Amino acid sequence: MIKFKSFRYILLTSILTIGILEITTAKLFATTLTNNTYTVKSGDSLSLIAQAHGESLNDLMKANNKWDDLIIAGQILNVSIKGNRNIHKTVRNEGSTYLTDQVEQEKIRNSVVFTSNPILEYASSFLGVPYVWGGISPEGFDCSGFTQYVFSHFGVTLPRVSQEQQNVGKLISRDDLQPGDLVFFGTPAHHVGIYIGNGKMIDAPHSGAVIRIQSLNSDFTYGRRVN
């Protein structure tokens, strides 16, 4: 009888130990997942998420099998743990320059005249408009929403996202770019703008910024002529 009770005690102790180990393992596994994922918040953009976690935009897109820059609040992304910084601190820091950037672009809008190119003249009327993820109106644009809106004004229908827009029109190299050409970044494209000449473009860059004129960067891939 004593041996039977001892056996039951050992068996129950073993079951409890295994249960505790399973719970501990599950918690550790969940922690590991949390440290390697990021839940998208309202106002986030892929570029800011990549910056906050110390990785390139291309690497972030590849890690999540993404072919465009569209994300939605609540979406869970795989991210690098080497940075693991507070993305909303990054957003606030960039946002602190928002008003300055907006005023600066409005000054440019008032001083630069694109009358020789109706597309650029129309596009420049939106300088200073805030970037809004998923935005497709003058209340706020994302990059492909901006180009789609501008070209639709001239009867040109572009797809909604940059990766699809990059398949429209004639392929143009950097040396052959002309004002009014679409300029794309990455393959598949993760960003699009409108070339204005002299190595510059007008675009809706990222959350916390406004539609602005800036130089083409090293990530530029090619242009497309659609008009």
Q: What is the pLDDT of residues 16-52, one digit of tens each?
A: 444 444 444 333 333 333 347 888 776 667 777 776 6
Quick one: 22 and 91 in the same domain?
no
Quick one: 149 and 179 in the same domain?
yes
Q: What span, in angstroms and rounded, lies between the C-alpha atoms of 178 and 175?
A: 9
Quick one: 78 and 145 in the same domain?
no
Quick one: 71 and 172 in the same domain?
no
Quick one: 120 and 182 in the same domain?
yes
Span 142-174, pLDDT tens digits: 999 999 999 999 999 999 999 999 999 999 999
Quick one: 103 and 115 in the same domain?
yes
- How buried is residue 169: exposed, middle or buried, by Cβ count under 10 Å (0-12/13-18/19+)? middle
Query: What's the structural domain count of the chain?
Result: 3
Location of structure tokens 């922690």: 31
CATH number at residue 176: 3.90.1720.10
Quick one: 159 and 216 in the same domain?
yes
First to last CA, the chain: 93
